[in-house]
Amino acid sequence: MNAQTDATHPPTVLITGASSGIGAALAQAYAARGWRLVLVGRKAEALRATAAACARAQGMQGVDPGRIRLITLDLLQTEAWREQAGALVQAWGCPQVVIANAGISHGVDLARPEDLAAAREVMDSNWLAALATLAPFIAPMRARGNGTLVGVASVAGVRGLPGHAAYCASKAALIHALESLRVELRGSGVRVVTISPGYVATPLTAGNPFPMPFLMLPDAFARRALRVIECGRAYATIPWPMAVVSKLLHVLPRAWYDPIMAGQRRKPRKPHQP
């Protein structure tokens, strides 16, 4: 990735869920390469902390608003987000890379009626908000004839996991939505990249009560993800051993899969649920 696209400005990457975890690691990785950053998240203080870390990665003492732009917003406020995206395009032009990374992870117990609200929250945050993130940049990228739209899904989208009905469904929906978009944009110069992480040590996985094979640190994940995005790969699972596992799970017959997974520990339910 060349950090200079013209004589005036470096290329721009927009990253949602940039307050922590994968999003913050991606932001710092791009900052170290000299890119301009648009960091989006719901938590203003945490977003400022990511911006400060990115400034240090760029060799600056403080955050330069000409190189790091912060947007504090819930992406489910779709009209407000579209306005922010439009203002960004007017001020900085359309980003070269847009990464829909924001998401949440709660276990649900579908036997409990109150958990349907948590299931809807997961689906809206992981699927609808991701599509809303990318939508304002499709037409500008198509008109320009280039750009990369990235969705961060999960290997959990391959098969259903106990206690994870909402999360698995949301990531499966995102994988297929991105595939639809990729086909639609074929030949336009706009690339659509789906990245499915395995287990990454972030706040989302911190409370998992089950083994997490091939657990990665966020910065190691980010380095691999940047290579995938640069190459414009349609789909990638990171790390590669988890790709092997996910392919095996995908083809494993239900008669074998069901009894194996039935005994696994469940993802914890949302903390405030009774």
Q: Which residues are catalytic?
A: 167
Q: Show the tokens assigned to 262.
A: 């039935």
Three-class SS of the chain: CCCCCCCCCCCEEEEECCCCHHHHHHHHHHHHCCCEEEEEECCHHHHHHHHHHHHHHCCCCCCCCCCEEEEECCCCCHHHHHHHHHHHHHHHCCCCEEEECCCCCCECCCCCCCHHHHHHHHHHHHHHHHHHHHHHHHHHHHHHCCEEEEEECCHHHCCCCCCCHHHHHHHHHHHHHHHHHHHHCCCCCEEEEEEEECCECCCCCCCCCCCCCCCECHHHHHHHHHHHHHHCCCEEEECHHHHHHHHHHHHCCHHHHHHHHHCCCCCCECCCCC
Burial 157-170 (b: 16+ CB within 10 A, else e): bbbebebbbbbbbb
CA dihedral sign, ordered 13, 19, 23, 28:
positive
Q: Show the tokens assigned to 82.
A: 């579209």
